[in-house]
């Protein structure tokens, strides 16, 4: 009996070996290579993000902020470090405000070994964005995709220079979007990720699996709250960072519109009572007595439906629309007051807070 079993096993192994030699295609199905695995439809699934890193990493620079010594104004010493992202062939770099806020001189080191003094184009404390510019030929530019929208569960890579160890890439997913609770004014919406962001990563790139810029790394929850936490870090969405950059390049600073109203989203029950055409409106809870809104005749309990012809979709959309309006312009605001629609013309002021 034992001899019979051994003979059957040997014959089976020999047959399998002959089939693998005769039909090489079977080997790729049975023994997948190190770089790919197979899914049900036969397509290969990439498990390495090397291509994404190779596309994005050259455009992520190290930033060293230097400050004059108080005892000797002729001496400069490095006071801080961070990262930045080259987003234009013209040499524009996006980084964090807090990376360069106290700097007397800013030095940028590229990954190809080039080092250059950077010009500070402008900065915006509210969004923690600063724009630098360096001169140079053939500057690496990070891939940009204006059609990409960050979604919870997307795989992302954080690239920067933590603790001045040298360029480092960490890996994670987008854990949440629209996080505003840790922003300076409670209005800025952050991307939350579990990719590690440490000191020196600030201003670096958060990219997707195509190497495209998703956001600008800005803080870990521990840095923001002084709590000991793990796996909670934040990045400024690239669309917001890009908008701030365009404003700074155009005007040297960020000019924001202001109407002097405070409001909140309408709950779902109220939305249904008002009708589907009013979904997304916000209810006015406060009016600055010295602001343009009071002068235009806004009242508490007004429901804002449209601003300058744009239908609003919640409090954040109102903030975005208003801050993008140029001070001095007059726009029509459609409101619902006591069940009746009315239009209030309001002249936009500049937000100087």
Residues sharing a CB contact under 8 Å with residue 342, sequence separation 6 or more, in sequence order? 334, 335, 336
320 near 307, Cβ under 8 Å?
Answer: no
Residues sharing a CB contact under 8 Å with residue 21, sequence separation 6 or more, in sequence order? none
Q: How many CB atoms lie within 10 A of CB 293?
A: 25
> Is 320 labeled as catalytic in the residue annotation?
no
Q: Who has greater pLDDT, 106 or 21?
A: 106
In the chain, how many H helices and how many E strands?
9, 23
Phi-psi sector, 35: left (phi>0), alpha (psi -120 to 50), beta: alpha
pLDDT tens-digit readout, 90-104: 999 999 999 998 889
**Predicted pLDDT at 339:** 83
pLDDT tens-digit readout, 9-48: 455 555 555 555 555 554 444 444 434 444 555 556 657 8
**Predicted pLDDT at 276:** 59
Which of 330, 147, 129 lies closest to 240 in space, CA to CA? Answer: 129
**Predicted pLDDT at 62:** 96
Q: How far apart, in Å, are the Cα atoms of 23 and each of 16, 28, 43, 179?
A: 10, 10, 20, 55
Which of 198, 204, 165, 171 lies closest to 57 in space, CA to CA? Answer: 204
pLDDT of residue 338 exceeding 50: yes
**Predicted pLDDT at 347:** 95
- pLDDT level of residue 79 (50, 70, 90 thresholds): confident
> Which stretch, 84-88, 263-267, 349-353, has highest mean pLDDT?
84-88
- Return d(Cα 213, Cα 223) in angstroms, integer: 23
- pLDDT level of residue 342 (50, 70, 90 thresholds): very high
The DSSP line for 229-242 is -SS-EEEEEHHHHH
pLDDT tens-digit readout, 173-208: 999 988 765 544 546 788 999 998 888 899 999 999
> Is 128 labeled as catalytic in the residue annotation?
yes
Q: Who has greater pLDDT, 249 or 264?
A: 249
CATH 2.30.42.10 in the chain is located at 257-350
CATH 2.40.10.10 in the chain is located at 54-133, 155-251
The catalytic residue among 65, 175, 183, 202 is 202
The catalytic residue among 98, 124, 175, 302 is 98
- pLDDT level of residue 267 (50, 70, 90 thresholds): low
The catalytic residue among 65, 83, 124, 128 is 128
155-251: CATH, from 3.40.30.20, 3.40.630.30, 3.40.50.300, 2.40.10.10: 2.40.10.10
**Can you name the CATH fold of 54-133?**
Thrombin, subunit H (2.40.10)
The CATH superfamily assigned to 257-350 is PDZ domain (2.30.42.10)
HSE-up (13 A, CA, CB side) for residue 194: 9
**Predicted pLDDT at 46:** 55
Where do the H-state alpha helices sit in the chain? 2-22, 25-30, 50-56, 97-100, 221-225, 238-251, 268-274, 292-296, 315-324
Mean pLDDT of the chain, nearest integer? 83
171 near 157, Cβ under 8 Å?
Answer: yes
Burial of 35 (0-12, 13-18, 19+ CB in 10 A): exposed
> Is 183 labeled as catalytic in the residue annotation?
no
**Taking residues 286-296, what's their average pLDDT?**
94
Structure tokens at 149: 């929208």
């Amino acid at each position: 009996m034992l001899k019979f079993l051994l003979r059957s096993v040997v014959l089976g192994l020999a047959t399998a070996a002959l089939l693998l030699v005769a039909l090489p295609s079977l080997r790729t199905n049975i023994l997948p290579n190190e770089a790919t695995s197979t899914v049900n439809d036969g397509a290969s699934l990439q498990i390495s993000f090397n291509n994404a890193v190779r596309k994005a990493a050259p455009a992520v620079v190290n930033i060293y902020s230097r400050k004059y010594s108080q005892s000797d104004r002729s001496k400069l010493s490095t006071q801080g470090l961070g990262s930045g992202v080259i987003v234009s062939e013209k040499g524009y770099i996006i980084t964090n405000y807090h990376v360069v806020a106290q700097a007397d001189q800013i030095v940028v080191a590229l990954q190809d070994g080039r080092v250059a003094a950077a010009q500070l184009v402008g900065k915006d404390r509210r969004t923690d964005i600063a724009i630098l510019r360096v001169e140079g030929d053939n500057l690496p530019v990070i891939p940009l995709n204006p059609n990409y929208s960050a979604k919870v569960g997307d795989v992302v890579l954080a690239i920067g220079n933590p603790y001045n160890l040298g360029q480092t890439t960490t890996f994670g997913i987008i854990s949440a979007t629209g996080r505003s609770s840790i922003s300076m004014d409670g209005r800025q919406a952050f991307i939350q990720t579990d990719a590690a962001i440490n000191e020196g990563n600030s201003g670096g790139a958060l990219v997707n699996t195509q190497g495209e810029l998703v956001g600008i790394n800005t803080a870990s929850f521990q840095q923001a709250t002084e709590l000991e936490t793990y796996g909670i870090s934040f990045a400024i969405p690239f669309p917001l960072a890009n908008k701030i950059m365009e404003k700074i390049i155009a005007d040297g600073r960020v000019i924001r519109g202001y109407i002097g109203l405070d409001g909140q989203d309408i709950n779902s029950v109220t939305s249904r009572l008002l009708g589907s055409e009013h979904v997304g409106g916000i209810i006015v809870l406060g009016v600055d007595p010295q602001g343009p809104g009071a002068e235009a005749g806004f009242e508490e309990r007004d429901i804002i439906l449209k601003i300058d012809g744009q239908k609003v979709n919640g409090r954040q959309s109102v903030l975005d629309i208003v801050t993008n309006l140029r001070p001095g312009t007059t726009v029509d605001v459609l409101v619902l007051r006591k069940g009746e629609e009315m239009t209030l013309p309001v002249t936009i002021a500049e937000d100087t807070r």
